[in-house]
Amino acid sequence: MIQRDHIDQLTEDLTDVFTGPGEAARLATIERRIAHFRSTYWRQHLTTHGTANDLLTAYQNQYRLPERFTEILAEAADHNRLIQTHKNQQISGALGIITILGLPLTTALTVIQVLGYQTPWHLLTATLTALAATGALLTTPYGRLVLNSLRGRTRRGAP
């Protein structure tokens, strides 16, 4: 009965992973609870042989506990993969933005320094030119991909 109650609770908790912010922390908590459950409560053999094992097996099969626990493990792995993919997309998007912003600005400031221009007018012109180049880069397919990767999952239709 303890096994069934824990499996029921883990199933409910997994359905609530994406209900709001902090999904990675909620999933980490659930994964710790799964590991604790597995090491503490998930027994499939009580003795090397005998009636106790038969009773435990019959109870687990009656409530489909092995199948449900396998489903819980698979669902937790799927959720973890989704969260990691989203984090990787955000990191890649942030690096892309740094590249798209940094490359034109660095190039413009380097050109000013090499040419020896020191006036604020030249600095302002170079900065505005770099911002225009950045804007142009953001309209390319790569720029749109970078911007989309920084947006939230709900905008793309994911849970």
Stretch 85-101: mean pLDDT: 88
Instruction: Give the list of residues 6+ apart from residue 79 with CB closer than 8 angstroms, or none.
Output: 14, 17, 18, 23, 27
Q: Where are the alpha helices (DSSP H) in the chain?
A: 2-15, 23-40, 51-62, 65-115, 120-138, 141-150, 153-156
pLDDT interval class at 70 (50, 70, 90): very high
43 confidence band (pLDDT: 50, 70, 90): confident
Structure-model confidence comparison of residues 68 and 142, the more confident one: 68
> Given the structure tokens 């660095």, which residue do they identify?
106
Average pLDDT over residues 101-120: 89
Tens of pLDDT, residue by residue over 114-128, are: 999 889 998 899 899
Average pLDDT over residues 89-97: 87
pLDDT of residue 80: 94
Residue 152's pLDDT band, with cuts at 50, 70 and 90, is low
User: What is the model's pTM?
Assistant: 0.69
Mean pLDDT over the full length of the chain: 87
> Residue 86: which of 75, 78, 76 has the closest Cα?
78
Q: In angstroms, rounded to a whole number, what is the distance separating the alpha carbons of residues 35 and 10?
A: 11
Residue 16: pLDDT over 60: yes
Residue type, 136: A
> For 25-43, b where at least 16 C-beta lie within 10 A, e where not — what string?
ebbeebeeebeebeeeebe
Model confidence band, residue 154 (pLDDT cutoffs 50, 70, 90): very low
Counting residues of the chain whose pLDDT is more than 70, the rounded percentage is 94
Residue 76 burial (CB count, 10 A):
19
- For 104, 149, 154, the CA distances from 86, given in Å and listed in that order, are 28, 8, 11
